[in-house]
Amino acid sequence: MKRNYENALKLLETRRRKARPTTPAATFQQQTGAPPSNTPTVRGVPSLNGMKEWLQMLGHTESDLNNLNIIHVAGTKGKGSTCAFARSLLRSHGLRTGFPGRVGLYTSPDLQCIRERIQIDDRPITEEIFARYFFEVWDRIITQNPSNGKEGARLPRYLQLLAILAFHTFIRENVEAAIFETHHGGEYDATNVVQNPVVTGVTSLGMDHVAQLGPTLEDIAWHKAGILKTGVPAFSLEQEAVAARMLRNRAAEKRTHLEFVAVNTSLPDNSKVLGVTVQKLNCSLAVELVRKFVQVKAPGHELNAEDISRAVDSFSWGGRFQIIEKGLCRWFLDGAHNTLSLEQAAAWFSENTGALNYRRCRVLIFSHFSEERDGRVLVECLAHALSARGAKPEHVIFTTYNERDDGTSRLDKTLKVPEKPFPDLCSVYAAVWSRLDPEAIVSSKPTIEAAIRLAEQIAAESGGAQCFVTGSLHLVGGALNLLTS
């Protein structure tokens, strides 16, 4: 097998499990701590299990991880944006002072290519670097593992392998600061192998991933607070009372100070980047994380107003509150995929399309498939949110994650999205929307390309259209690829 990018992705795909386990983790009853409801929501083997040993197989010690100077971020919504703001702030400070030099960012999921998950200095790592370090990891942990092939052998799964690859890459590339976003939870997340981060942060919490994190907001807060570490400064956005109480309790349990963050009223006036309230919140949290990082790691330095202004001006995070002007269409793209994020995205779309000087036909393109969420609930949430804000779309198009009409797609796209029964889901979603808004013209298209083409036809017939693409980062990633190619 050639040790190239394509084959690296094929091997990575073999580590994806077919379905989430339904049996509670065998170790659950033996855990020293458990979520308040004591509901065994951790299924199968917790993702954290094995991470330390696999990193040791690569020759990486706890000291190597500590030297990455990690900012660790958990939460339900806004994790990716907060991490991206922190990255931009660190880079801005580094350009002015020389520290940090190279900045690593590990986040998920990706929009257009898997390498977006592992970035250094504002850019995804190259295909050559991805392949080189992937095969170093694969050879040492999979191929040369003496337990490989034996019954009950523990080998890293898809997300565990990606997290290992990120740690390995950042260590090999000598980054001086690294930002890690958790996958889902916190306590048992693969990224929680980090024992001595510089600072930790928790973004807004809400009900999502309940099958893994628990039936209540209190349970979810317990899991997310698992990234807090003894003596390590911690920050959180302001939360609902029950979640805030749990975060405080866990901070006390872990013997660390937790500070809650409100909107920073001194942020620069940048309507393009900070025109959405939630992004002001995410940026405010990132500012506190990086301010503390600089205080701890670079005594005598400070994150100043110039650093913050430059960071906000250069901030970029595709697929989140993104607007693209193309032809007769103004495209609004946001990868919201839970009720909390969809409500925010609906408010953003409404605020940006209600101006008297920009009255055009509204078109919605939506797609969502997940074993963890009921897509019908998301459709209902979005319909109600848009209606309440006076932004009901005249045309609604449901589609799939399949990108092009001819069946071709990007290599990463081919591998990362399994086939699902989308035509049936599209019909279900269409029925739900038609019931909630009988006046809307509702249709379904088998590909993202066909959905975009229909939206463009509607725009041509109507003299312009405001097109809202949301429901999934897979959908938004495909749309971005088509709109920007």
Average pLDDT over every residue of 369-386: 91
Is residue 452 scored above 60 in pLDDT?
yes
| Domain limit, last residue, from 313, 333, 355 | 313
Strands of the 234-237 sheet, one edge to the other? 123-124, 118-120, 103-106, 177-181, 70-74, 199-202, 234-237, 258-261
Give the single-character DSSP code of 321: S
Helices 5-13 and 158-172, axial angle in degrees (round to 10): 140
For residues 242 and 373, membership in a common domain is answered with no
Map residue 341 onto helix, strand or coil.
helix
Element (H, E) at 363: strand 361-366
Is residue 482 scored above 80 in pLDDT?
yes
- What pLDDT band is residue 414 in, cutting at 50, 70 and 90? very low
For residues 371 and 290, membership in a common domain is answered with no
Rounded Cα distance, 92 and 69, in Å: 17
The predicted structure's pLDDT at residue 449: 97
Q: Compare 265 and 22 and report the one with higher pLDDT.
A: 265
Question: Got the DSSP string for 91-130?
Answer: HHHHHHHS-S-SEEEE-S--SS-GGGGEEETTEEPPHHHH
266 is in an annotated binding site: no
Nearest to 401, CA basis, from 331, 466, 337? 337
The predicted structure's pLDDT at residue 45: 76
What CATH number is attached to the domain comprising 211?
3.40.1190.10
For residues 61 and 168, membership in a common domain is answered with yes
What CATH number is attached to the domain comprising 384?
3.90.190.20
Average pLDDT over every residue of 228-233: 97
The predicted structure's pLDDT at residue 294: 98
Q: What is the pLDDT of residues 356-377, one digit of tens each?
A: 445 689 999 999 988 777 899 9
Q: What percent of the chain has pLDDT over 70?
A: 89
For residues 356 and 245, membership in a common domain is answered with no
- What pLDDT band is residue 28 in, cutting at 50, 70 and 90? very low
Question: Considering the entire predicted model, what is its pTM?
Answer: 0.90
Pairing relationship of beta strands 199-202 and 234-237 according to DSSP bridges: parallel
The predicted structure's pLDDT at residue 64: 97
Is residue 417 scored above 90 in pLDDT?
no
Is residue 285 scored above 50 in pLDDT?
yes
Q: Which amino acid is at 371?
A: E
Question: Got the DSSP string for 154-186?
Answer: ----HHHHHHHHHHHHHHHTT-SEEEEE-SS-S
For residues 377 and 439, membership in a common domain is answered with yes
Rounded Cα distance, 155 and 76, in Å: 28
CA distances from 39 to 29, 62, 187, 213, 220 (A): 10, 32, 15, 9, 11
Contact indicator for 201, 293 with CB cutoff of 8 Å:
no
The predicted structure's pLDDT at residue 407: 84
334 is in an annotated binding site: yes
Map residue 399 onto helix, strand or coil.
coil
Tokens 């250069």 found at: 314
For residues 166 and 104, membership in a common domain is answered with yes
The predicted structure's pLDDT at residue 398: 97
108 is in an annotated binding site: yes
For residues 339 and 411, membership in a common domain is answered with yes
Q: Look at 26-40, 79-93, 166-180, 338-352 and tell me which has the smallest mean pLDDT.
A: 26-40
β-partners of residue 362 are: 466
Question: Got the DSSP string for 3-71?
Answer: -SHHHHHHHHHTTS-SS---SBPTTGGG-S---TT-----BSS-TTTTHHHHHHHTT--HHHHHTT-EE
| Domain limit, last residue, from 296, 313, 330 | 313
For residues 109 and 203, membership in a common domain is answered with yes
Structural domains of the chain, count: 2
Rounded Cα distance, 453 and 458, in Å: 9
284 is in an annotated binding site: no
For residues 241 and 381, membership in a common domain is answered with no
Is residue 32 scored above 50 in pLDDT?
no
For residues 346 and 275, membership in a common domain is answered with no
For residues 121 and 225, membership in a common domain is answered with yes
Give the single-character DSSP code of 139: I
Is residue 450 scored above 90 in pLDDT?
yes
209 is in an annotated binding site: yes
Rounded Cα distance, 261 and 203, in Å: 10
Contacting residues for 342 by C-beta, under 8 A, at least 6 apart: 336, 378, 381, 382, 385, 470, 471
- What pLDDT band is residue 144 in, cutting at 50, 70 and 90? confident
Map residue 364 onto helix, strand or coil.
strand
The predicted structure's pLDDT at residue 25: 54
Range of the domain at 436: 322-484
Map residue 290 onto helix, strand or coil.
helix
The predicted structure's pLDDT at residue 207: 76
Mean pLDDT in the chain?
90
Average pLDDT over every residue of 318-342: 93
| Domain limit, last residue, from 313, 334, 353 | 313
Helices (H), 254-334: 271-274, 277-297, 305-313
Rounded Cα distance, 189 and 47, in Å: 5
Rounded Cα distance, 481 and 479, in Å: 5
The predicted structure's pLDDT at residue 17: 76
Task: Supply φ then ψ for residue 88, to 5 degrees.
Answer: -65, -40
- What pLDDT band is residue 118 in, cutting at 50, 70 and 90? very high
For residues 139 and 103, membership in a common domain is answered with yes
Is residue 87 scored above 80 in pLDDT?
yes
Is residue 1 scored above 90 in pLDDT?
no
Measured in whole angstroms, the distance separating CA 368 from the mean position of its chain's CA atoms is 15
Tokens of 46: 């917790």
